[in-house]
Amino acid sequence: MTDNNLNTNFLDTRVATYKAVVGLVPGFGSILSEIVGAIIPDQRMDRLVKYIKILDEKVQQIDSEFLEIVRTNEAVIDLIEEGFVQASRSLTNERREYISNLVCNGISDEVKNISDSKYVLKLLGELNEQEVIWLRSFLDPTIGGDQEFRRKHENVLEPIKAYIGVDDSILEQKDIQESYKLHLERLGLVQSIYRVDSKTKLPKFNNRGVPEISYRLITPLGKLMLKRIGLLDSTNL
């Protein structure tokens, strides 16, 4: 039997197991089948297989009383559907972990917060892997802060410096790196703190007429995302 057949058979079995674990209503299996069979192209099946493995392990840790929510709450079903769609596009196990953490947090959360999980999941869908790393780095933006995390991701977090005569490719990389931070700010996940002139008490501007940024801070929404995707715990607070 080929690997593709094994993966497909495993996916079918895993969906059935997942249904049994969370106590889904009979009609819910058809929803998952529609997502897997119609919305998700065949070449993305292997990504779903890996995602369902992770999701199944996490769901089994949820109290059975909370899982009863799935039977009657369409918002939870909608959250799970969105998780499947995003997982089918994920290229790394880290991203699949983020998605499964978000979905499981939504399932086990109070009903009024399920929509929050769906909103945060949508926001996550707008971020690439590098932007998630940058968001996490703003938990401790001080010099020398969170050294272990920064060493692990220095290939992403190392500032790209521009100087006279630098190659255009370096300038492009620098602009892309800055665009990641600006994107996080536009989404409300981080906030810029601007330099202020000590005499005039007005913002300082650089030679391009742009306000100078002193540093950036993660916002409550940014912390909520990190918490829901599993990158923030009590040791980070």
For 133-185, what is each residue's pLDDT tens digit?
999 999 886 666 678 888 899 999 888 887 777 787 888 898 899 999 999 99
Q: What is the pLDDT of residues 98-127, one digit of tens each?
A: 999 998 888 776 655 788 888 999 999 999
Q: What is the pLDDT of residues 93-103, one digit of tens each?
A: 899 999 999 98
Q: What is the pLDDT of residues 48-58, one digit of tens each?
A: 778 878 887 88
Residue 236 has pLDDT above 50, yes or no: yes
Q: Quick one: residue 3, left, alpha or beta (phi over 0 = left, psi -120 to 50 = alpha)?
A: alpha
Do 68 and 170 have their domain in common?
A: no
| Structural domain span for residue 139 | 129-229
Confidence of residue 197 (pLDDT cuts 50, 70, 90): confident
Higher-confidence position of 42 and 114: 114
Asked if the structure places residue 98 within a domain, the reply is yes
Asked if the structure places residue 80 within a domain, the reply is yes
Do 105 and 119 have their domain in common?
A: yes
The tally of CA atoms less than 13 A away on the side-chain side of residue 44 is 19
Asked if the structure places residue 115 within a domain, the reply is yes
Q: How many domains does the chain have?
A: 2
Do 115 and 139 have their domain in common?
A: no
Do 97 and 191 have their domain in common?
A: no
Do 69 and 148 have their domain in common?
A: no
Do 109 and 43 have their domain in common?
A: yes
Q: CA 54, CA 30: separation in Å to the nearest integer?
A: 21
- Domain end (from 125, 150, 176): 125
Quote the pLDDT of residue 57: 80
Judged by DSSP in three states, 164 sits in coil
Asked if the structure places residue 234 within a domain, the reply is no
Do 137 and 203 have their domain in common?
A: yes
Asked if 104 contacts 70 with a C-beta cutoff of 8 angstroms, the reply is no
Do 202 and 140 have their domain in common?
A: yes
Average pLDDT along the chain:
77
Quote the pLDDT of residue 7: 53
Do 210 and 105 have their domain in common?
A: no
Do 101 and 167 have their domain in common?
A: no
Asked if the structure places residue 237 within a domain, the reply is no
Quote the pLDDT of residue 79: 85
Do 30 and 134 have their domain in common?
A: no
Do 151 and 181 have their domain in common?
A: yes
Worst-scoring range by mean pLDDT, 27-41, 42-56, 58-72, 142-156? 27-41
